[in-house]
Structure 1
Amino acid sequence: MSQRIYIFDTTLRDGEQVPGCQLTTEEKVVVAKELERLGVDIIEAGFPVSSPGDFRSVVEISRAVTEPTVCALSRAVQGDIDAAAQALKEAKRGRIHTGIGSSDIHIRNKFNSSREKILEQAVAATKYARNLIDDVEFYAEDAGRADLEFLARLVESVIAAGATVVNIPDTTGYCLPQQYGDKIKYIYDHVPNVDKAIISIHCHNDLGLATANTLSGVLNGARQVEVTINGIGERAGNTSLEEIVMALQVHKDLGLYTNVDPKRLFPVSQLVSEMMHMPVQANKAIVGRNAFAHSSGIHQDGFLKHSENYEIINPQDVGVDKSLIVLTARSGRHALKHRLELLGYRYDKPALDTIYSRFLDMADIRKEVNDKDLMELVR
């Protein structure tokens, strides 16, 4: 089995469904070009049948990028598939992403249907799409809550019908990592033609487990991950692209890799945050403001002695300029001495002790002490 993990970025489709995050076609093209520079393998550009704007966005992104596959979403409906194929006509590499619900909850309550009818519709849609384009991905919506035996039958059937990729989404973020990994393993163990397609993972973060579930799926054989920049997406969001890329980068012993350039992660994160008016939480892994900031005296002391004491990633490896020592009332003498020396001030121990005492009084009042405050203090 290949050790390469394909990165399917759905920032411009699932990520853009977040209220207040909608982009114009021109803005989507800007983001798509940055995703291409980042090195993603597939860009899900939109849902063409949903609106003229989404249709145009898929057309323009197809024209704008040359390396990634451009993917268009559709339901398992002929009209949707036709719209997707039409929008992808100018793509160098195009993919139709079609599918239908696979859990009994969806089959009964969303489609008012039966397992057998869903199976027929899935096969028909896959065959129809495959007649229009060579690359067809099928999504088994709500696979996280689907019956395993039925899910395996569905996967086997759509692969036989021509699906090149099969997506096993945890649409509601329901699964625990062990459950989700077992689900992927079950598919590999019980679908005889599974080697004819790539198994893909699309996890949501409703329980805060999207990244953990995605990694569990990968460790059980899946070779495509569906992710978004900053983990944006419906409800609590999708799996974060930067977290998956760096988890595999840090754990090189797994032997798994992506084609993403990690040095572009932080700049792309900032771009998406600004364009979508979606601030990145300060403690967000990899790209948050505090991801490489240290304010505890114990941590600062250890970090200044050797950065790997408290950092498993070099900030420059993900495009962040440097780590930060943030001076607060929790900071110790070592951090204060370090910052004063950067400003050109050197003191013997008795003098530093006096300044440190005054520094703590200031920090209690101002919460965070910056360089201007320090210069005021030493004067």
Structure 2
Amino acid sequence: MLKNPAEKYSPFTPFALPDRRWPEQRITHAPRWLSTDLRDGNQALAEPMDSARKLQFWELLLACGFKEIEVAFPSASQTDFNFVRQLIEEQRIPNDVTIQVLTQAREDLIYRTFASLQGVRQATIHLYNATAPLFRRLVFGMEKAQVVELATRSTQLIRQLCEENPQTRWQYEYSPETFCFTEADFALEICEAVAGVWQPCAERPMIINLPATVEVSTPNVYADQIEYFCRHFSRRNDVCISVHPHNDRGTGVACAELAVMAGADRVEGCLFGNGERTGNVCLVTLAMNLYSQGISPQLDFSDMPRVVEVVEICNQLPVHPRHPWAGSLAYTAFSGSHQDAIKKGFDARKAGSHWEMPYLPVDPQDIGCSYEAVIRVNSQSGKSGSAWLIEQNHGLKLPRALQQDFSQHVQQETDKHGKEMTQNALWQLFRNRYGLIPSPPLSLQHYRSDSQQDGQLRLTATVMREGKTRELTGSGNGLLSAAANAITPWLGKPFVIKDYHEHTLGVRSDSRSVAYIRCLYQDGSSRWGVGIDNDVARASLQALLNAVG
């Protein structure tokens, strides 16, 4: 890289719009959406989709609720032409869906485009030509007047062909392809000229698309350009203003959102942002951004994992695991502090209340993602992550001190191999550490308790150790104190019960109960034990045995 990039690169010079209004606007409803996955996205693939993959993608877009879909560049390849014909001849286009096709401003390509659309119920013809100074000078060698003449002549031909085929409801879209670095006044001039030929009205709907063909400025500048155009275009009320942001600077989503605030009616893009170079704007991100603000995007991503799966199959490109909203790790927390906040959020959540959850702007279940992926445990995780997984999968609500104890053992285990710990491995570690195994070192076989005349409780218990049974007896002011007095002489290691907690594992009267006990020894060390049984007293006694065993 150059030490002084100014020697090679010039900053974009925006025009002045001191009375801009878009910063005060709010997005209160979804824009019109156009998916261009099957055309723009397809052209950007190393191996363009065959008809089978295109058809699979088409069905996905319909399932997601798209009403406008750019399906092909039919004059560019026989595959694209055939796909348009397949949709029409096999009657695969729902009555409320409009397909869109792209054509360059060439007479032969326009005729070929119309040939592909014979018999369609409704369609949008999308014409484009480049308008920026760089393209006029370097690519086409044309003056402004020649560029305008090319656009209007092509528009006149398209209008003529539309009128010759009145059985189809036609819509026309015009794109000054390199709008974002075209002079503002010239962009207005050419769009006024094109609209003058088309004469937009209810019978002849028109879209003017103002693309950020290559991102060359910050999103606020693009918003200024859109607002300036909307405020000065003479037929603003007769046309739909569409935007087609690319993502060269990584700000395509911001460009789209600010453009809508600046007056745009429609957004064109691809699922997960596929497209040339760094891609088109991501429609999934835009839609979910609206959803997270309580605004219906008018698109359905209730089964986001399925959407990701189909797009990856059709595009043969992976969706990044940390892609906003849809990535496999989009809702996952490994960090201990994040996990603690999420656990507290779930603990405090009340059914029917507004969603308020640390680090989770939407409920993953709304888009078909399970809570199992929310918290995952590795060496960076803390006590809350492990405790949350144990509670979610097994119903055990660990006392805070036990959470701290268990997290230390999890930390030791994950540090040992440096990898993420699976839920099954986590549960096995918990069981082994706290005695929830089929044959713990000290296993309660039978017990009997009796109240004595002095108010004490007498316990008689049969315990198995290393395959041998032993009967223990002890008295105390309660079941656990009697058990502790019975066990201590046998083990020869005095202890006191420091913590005791219990709860049921269900709402039925015959549900099992779980007991948690921490024993504190004279040297200051302590150990936890956990017991589960239909009989809460038996669960408590086994928890005590597991703690001292």
Does 2:53 correspond to 1:27?
yes
Which structure has the higher relative contact order (CA within 8 Å, separation 6+)?
A: 1
Partner Cα distance (2:115, 2:287) in 1? 32
Partner of residue 357, structure 1: 408
Partner of residue 155, structure 1: 191
Does 2:321 correspond to 1:282?
yes
Partner of residue 299, structure 1: 338
> Given the two structures, how large is their TM-score scaled by the length of structure 1?
0.93
Q: Deviations over 1:139-167 (max 9, x none)?
A: 11111111001001112122222260011
Partner of residue 151, structure 2: 122
Partner of residue 51, structure 1: 77
Write the letter of the residue equivalent to 1:15.
G
Partner of residue 200, structure 1: 242
In the TM superposition, what are the counterparts of 1:1-379 in structure 2 within 5 Å?
Answer: 4-62=30-88, 63-66=91-94, 67-133=96-162, 134-162=170-198, 164-252=206-294, 258-306=297-345, 308-322=357-371, 323-344=373-394, 351-364=402-415, 365-378=417-430, 379=432
Which structure: greater helix fraction? 1
Q: Deviations over 1:49-101 (max 9, x none)?
A: 11111111122234322132111110011111112211122332211111100
Q: Deviations over 1:179-215 (max 9, x none)?
A: 1111111111111112211111001111101110011
Q: Unaligned stretches of 5+ in structure 2? A: 1-27, 163-169, 201-205, 347-356, 433-549
C-alpha contact (below 8 Å) 1:6/1:258 kept by paired residues:
no
C-alpha contact (below 8 Å) 1:73/1:97 kept by paired residues:
yes
Q: Deviations over 1:1-54 (max 9, x none)?
A: x95511100011111122335211122112112211211121111111111111
Write the letter of the residue equivalent to 1:377.
L
Q: Deviations over 1:304-343 (max 9, x none)?
A: 2215221111222233233521111221111111222344
C-alpha contact (below 8 Å) 1:5/1:257 kept by paired residues:
no
Cα separation, partners in 2 of 1:296 and 1:246, compared to 1, 3 Å? same
Displacement, 1:107?
A: 1.2
C-alpha contact (below 8 Å) 2:34/2:268 kept by paired residues:
yes
Partner Cα distance (1:105, 1:92) in 2? 39
Q: Deviations over 1:253-299 (max 9, x none)?
A: xxx75421232444223211122211011110011111111111111
Which structure: greater strand fraction? 2
Cα separation, partners in 2 of 1:37 and 1:148, compared to 1, 3 Å? same
333-342 or 50-59, larger mean C-alpha shift: 333-342
C-alpha contact (below 8 Å) 1:175/1:213 kept by paired residues:
no
Q: CA RMSD in A?
A: 2.1
> Given the two structures, how large is their TM-score scaled by the length of structure 2?
0.65
85-94 or 108-117, larger mean C-alpha shift: 85-94
Partner Cα distance (1:313, 1:19) in 2? 32
Displacement, 1:349?
A: 5.3
Higher Cα Rg, which structure: 2
